[in-house]
Structure 1
Amino acid sequence: MAACRPAPGPEQEQAATPAKASPSAPGESSPISEIIQATGLAAKDERVEIILLLPDTRVPLQEFQRNGLAMLISRQAGYKLATHEAGGEAAKQAAQFRQAIDAKPAAIFVSPIDPPALAALIVEATTAGIIVIGLDKRMLNEGCASIVYSDQRRVGRLAGEATLEALKRKATEEGRAEVTGRVIQIRGVEDSTSTNDLATGFTEALSAQPGVVQVHDAFADWKPENATQRTAEAFQLQKQFDVIFAHNDALAIGAAKATSDAGQRENIFVIGTDGIPGQKKGIALVRQGDLDATIVQPALVDLALQIVLRLRTDQNFKPLPAYEVEPVAITPKNVEKSLRTGTYRLPKL
C-alpha cells in the first residue's frame, strides 16, 4: 500500500562508511604484505591459510560471507582461504573443525551451529597457536581470541520498527489516531537460534503498538518458492494483511511474488533482511521498489580478517573479547546514500 511505503524525506544518517577489511586502500601496499616481502615469504610463495566454517551456504548471507572473504584475502599477498559448510549439521561442523585444526592454518573463522560442541576444539586450536575468531554472540565464553557479531534480536527489532513506521504512515493518511495492522512472518528454518532471535526481536518491537497483530507465522526452509507458497496460504487463511516480514531478502522476494499474484502488492509492505549489495540483491531490490525495506546484516568476516592481520603484525595488539557490528535499516529514504557510501560502520580495533 502506498501509505505503508516509506514517505519521501531527507536521507537518514544511518548509512555509514563502507566496510573495509584491508588495512590500506586498494592499490597501496599493506603492512602485512610489506612484512611478507621483508621475510622472503613472497619469494618462496609460502601462503598462510585461513579456514572459514559456515553452517549452511543455502543462506545467501553465508554465501556472501564466503565470497566476500575470498575477495578480501585475495588482496593479501601470502594468504589463501579454505571454506567448509556443514549443511546445518552440528556434528558435521565439529568434524570440519577437527580437519581445520589438522591443516594447521593461521586462523579459523567459525559461524557455529552449536557453540558448546566446539568448545574443546577451540581450546585445542588455540593451544596449537591457531587464531580462532567466532562469528556469533554465543561464542563469547568459548575461548576464542575474539568474536565478531551482529545481534539478531536487534535485526528483528529494526524490522519491527520499520513495520510500525509504515503502519503509522498508513494511519495518518487515513486520518486515524490508532495505529493498527495485520502482519505475517516468513521464517527460515525451525530450531535455529538465529531464526528464533529474529522473530523475538520483531515481536518485541511490534508490542509497542497493541493494535498491530501478527496473524500468520510460517517456515520456508530458506527457499523463495516456499515463501511464495506460505504467503499464498496466508491469503487463503487471513484474506487480508498489511505487512510481510521475511527472514532474508530472497524469502521476501518470494513472498512479494505471492502478493503480486493476488493483486495486492501495492497494498502490502514487504521487508527482508541481509541487504547484500549487488544486482538483484537486497539494497538494489529496495532501490527498484521490489522490496520496501531491508535490514543490512554486517558480513563480520571483514572485521575478523582485520583482527587476524593485526594480531600477526603487531605484537602489542590485544583484541577485545567481542566486537559488535550494528545492523542498519535500508529504505527508499537512505538507499541512494547507502549505495554511494556504504552501510554499516566497523568498530575500531
Structure 2
Amino acid sequence: MENYKLIGEEIKRIYHQNKEELNINSTMDMLLLEFYMDAEEDVIHEYMATIYDKLSFYVNDYSGLYGLTNVANLCGMLNSEFGTYSTFLEQLINKVEENIMDIVKSNLSNSLDPLKGVFGGARFLTNFYHKNTLSEKLVYIEREIEKILNKKQAFSSLYIEKEFIKDDEKELFPFGYLDMGLAHGLAGQLFFLSSIYKKNKDLKTKKIIQKIISFYEMHQYGNEGVFPSYIYKEKQKIYSGATKEESWCYGFPGIANALYTAAMCIGDDKRCADLLELVTRKIIGKTEFEISESIFCHGYAGLYAIISNLGDISQEKSFCSYKKNLAHMINSSLQKDISKLNFESNQQNKIFSRIDGLLSSVLPIFVDNSKHSAEYYRQIVLLK
C-alpha cells in the first residue's frame, strides 16, 4: 500500500480511538478526509451529526477557516452529494449572512482576511446562493467591499500598520506591509470578486479584478517575473523571503493560481496563457525545492493541489504528468512520518488540520482519486 493510503488509514484509527478528546475543528477535517476516501454515506452523516452537536449558532465566528462558514461549506458539499441537509444549510446561510452583515457595518476594513475574514463567508454565500440575482444583503456586502477596493489609494488602505504586526515580523517589516499572499492577503480576495462577477457581470467588479491583477504585474520581479509575498510600506519595497517560494500560502504558485482564476473569470485569455507559461517555466520539471515538508500550507501537498487544479482547467499534459512526480515526493516525505505518528491532545492540529497537519499532506491525493468532485475541496482551500 502506498504511504499516503497508510497515513490515511492511520489518521482514521487515531481519530476513532481519541474522538472524545478532539475538538470540532478536527472533526470537520476528518469529515473532509473520509468523504474523499469514499467512505460510506452513513459514516459521513455521523461526522456531520457530531459537528452539529458541538456547534453553537451563538458563536460569532463566521470564518472560512474553522468558523460557521467552514461548517456551511461542508454542509453545502454534503447537500449537493446526498440532498439531505437543505434545512441545516439554510440555517447556516442565514447565520453566516447575519454575522457578516454585522462585521461589514462595524469593522470591515480590519476583516478582509480571505480565510478568516468576510471574504470567505461572502464567497460561500455567492457560491451557494442558487439564483441569478444576489440577495439584498449580499449586494450590500459586495458594495461595501468594492468601496474599499475602488478608492484611489485602495491598496494603501490594505496595509498592515506597524502596531498590528506580530512580534516575530517586526524586524522584517518595521514600517508595516501589504500582504500579497494567498492565505491572508490580496490574492485570496480575488476568489470572492471572481465569484461575484460570475453572478453579476458588473463592469465595476471586472475593473476591480483587473486593477488587482495589474497591481501584481506591476510588482513582478527577478528574471522569472515572479510575484512578491509582501510589499513594504516604506517606499513600496518588495520582500519575498518570508516563506518558501513554492508554497500555497505565500509562494508564487498560490498567487499565480489566484490570478489565473480571476483572469479566466473575466475572459482574459492572454493573461491566462501568460500565467500558465510562467508557471510552466518556473515550476514544471523542477526537482529541487525550497519546500521540504509534505503538508499543504507550505509543502509539497499544496503545490500538488495547485498543479492538479491548473492541469484540470487548462488540460496541459505537462501539468498532469508533473503532478505524478509531486505525488511521489509526497509519498517519499511521508515515509518518515508513518513510524512516529503519535496522538497528543494538545497538538491534535499536527495530525488533523487540512492546512498544516499530516491530514493535509494526503488529502489532495485522495481528492484526485475520489469518486467525488474535487470542486468542493478546491473551494474550501482557496484554489477555486
Which interval holds the TM-score relative to the shorter structure?
A: under 0.3
- More strand by percentage: 1
Bigger radius of gyration among the two: 1
TM superposition score normalised by structure 2: 0.25
Q: Greater relative contact order (Cα 8 A, min sep 6): structure 1 or 2?
A: 1
TM superposition score normalised by structure 1: 0.27
- More helix by percentage: 2
